[in-house]
Structure 1
Amino acid sequence: MKSLKFIIVLLHACCIHGNIEERLEKLETDMVNLKEHVHHQDVLINHLNNVILSQNEQNGGNGTTRGRRSFLQSSMAAFTVLMDHVILAQPANTPLVFNRVITNLGIAYNSHTGKFTAPQDGVYLFSYSMHVNRIGQSFLQLVRNGVQIVGSVTESTNDYGDTQGGSTAVIDLFAGDQVWVEVFYDENDRLEGKYGGTSFTGALLA
């Protein structure tokens, strides 16, 4: 009888532990989604603030460097980011996070999620490159709001091999659209980021 009670208590504890783990996972997912939503709003607010500042300074007619800089920030979005580490077995259809920011004019690229959010309607240029070494391969694609725009495949067939690949696209975006790079096939994938060869760049053209 005591053994039976112990088993019942143990099963009950396991169920509680399982429920707690599920809740924690849900909270982590909600937190990531919330951070992404906040960043999205920050990009749009930053753009509107820069537009207002630029207009005020232009109306003042001071022609200062600060005024020109504010106008540039309000009328453009441009970024270049790198990956500074090796990635193995990146899950398919999840954004690659390029964590080393070189340029992020307009703060439209999110280094926590790997996504670029368009601050305004316009035509944008995007380009990514990937460095694969040793025995490995990489299947990457540039996506807009989850839909593939362009893709590329790079493969290294020996331990001393180094290959470089990538793709470029010009895309018409609306404010709030998101663009990122992701793996679309994840068998034996390997990305080398230590030498600056794996990067992501984007800019507003018009």
Structure 2
Amino acid sequence: MMRAAVVSLLLLFCLLQDSAGHSTKPKPEDRSSRKRCCGQLQSLRALVYQQGTVLAELRRDFVKVKNENAANAVAISSLKTSLSANQQEVQKLKKENAAQTAELQNVQSRLTAVENDVKNLKNKDAEQASGLSALRNELENLRKECSGSQKVAFSAAIGPPAGRRGPFNSETNLVYKNVITNIGNAYNSGTGIFTAPVKGVYYFRFTGAGYDDKKWNIGVNLYKNGQHLIHLGENSIDGIAKHVSSGITLELAAGDQVHTRLPTNYVLWDDTYFRTSFSGFLLFPM
């Protein structure tokens, strides 16, 4: 529109010049001025054309920028929409995470409670098992006592090789290695000591022999827990073959020990006939 307005103004200017020339006779200086005007008109036309070209390019650039702005506006709107959706998704995930965290804490609390319950049950089971074991042992002991199933009996002798034992210059434990009977395994053939397995009343019998010896006395001492209870003996002048024996009833607690000893400067004899022996058995538990 600017280009058309400039052209219209130039044409009007030329027409005014022509009308002025027809009314008077042109002068030489007027012709020169007209030529200058025509030249200026042509320059103006070229300038108007050039400005039109620039204006067209500006219009194209404007349209291009406008389209780009519109595209950018659409992209921005899309990004805003996407951002809003993402923000909503993030908020949703936060809520879900908070709910899951709360649920996890709840599960952990219940798990801790269950573990504590299991621990308590195990402790109770252990206590009950211990109590049950004690009751079983007590019941077994009562059953043994009531039924007489606790059987204790033994007999043992010094035995071969045939010959004299002693004399010794100090009292010596007698070890009866030839075991005839040992029900309940309360007698120890390695030490010659009987150990009571249960509390009760026991009977013990012990014998001694001497043969073809008129020089030494024969004898046996009986001990309970190291306490001397009985001495059994016979003088050397009483004959070639000598025999002695004795018995005793003792109330023993579980763990009490009974054994015999050869007195100082005494002798005993034994052979395959088991002349020197030690025996005992449980009469009844208590």
Distance in 2 of aligned mates of 1:164 and 1:196: 12
Q: Which sections of structure 2, spanning at least 5 residues, go unmatched?
A: 1-135
**Conserved? CA contact 2:219–2:267, under 8 Å:** no
Distance in 2 of aligned mates of 1:90 and 1:128: 20
**Conserved? CA contact 1:142–1:179, under 8 Å:** yes
Matches within 5 A, 1:13-52: none
- The total of aligned residue pairs comes to 139
**Conserved? CA contact 2:206–2:278, under 8 Å:** yes
- Pick the structure with more helix per residue: 2
- Pick the structure with more strand per residue: 1
Identity %: 32
Q: Which residue of 2 aligns with 1:76?
A: 151
- What's the CA shift for 1:155? 3.1
**Conserved? CA contact 1:134–1:156, under 8 Å:** no
What per-residue deviation string (whole Å, max 9, x for no partner) do you get for residues 56-114 of structure 1? xx8xxxxxxxxx9xx76x51211000111431224543320011000000001001100
Question: Is 1:154 the counterpart of 2:231 in the alignment?
Answer: no
Q: Which residue of 2 aligns with 1:144?
A: 224
Select which of 195, 211, 214 maps to 1:133.
211
What per-residue deviation string (whole Å, max 9, x for no partner) do you get for residues 38-70 of structure 1? xxxxxxxxxxxxx97x95xx8xxxxxxxxx9xx
Select which of 187, 192, 206 maps to 2:269.
192
Distance in 2 of aligned mates of 1:143 and 1:75: 24
**Conserved? CA contact 1:151–1:167, under 8 Å:** no
SS at match of 1:157: helix
Scaled by the length of structure 1, the TM-score of the pair is: 0.60
RMSD of aligned residue pairs (Cα, Å): 2.7
Question: Is 1:109 the counterpart of 2:187 in the alignment?
Answer: yes
Q: Which residue of 2 aligns with 1:94?
A: 172
**Conserved? CA contact 1:149–1:169, under 8 Å:** no
The verdict on how the C-alpha distance between 1:130 and 1:173 changes in structure 2, with shifts beyond 3 A counting, is same
Q: Which sections of structure 1, spanning at least 5 residues, go unmatched?
A: 1-50, 59-67
Q: Which has the higher contact order (CA 8 A, sep 6+)?
A: 1
Distance in 2 of aligned mates of 1:89 and 1:139: 11
The verdict on how the C-alpha distance between 1:91 and 1:106 changes in structure 2, with shifts beyond 3 A counting, is farther
Structure with the greater alpha carbon radius of gyration = 2
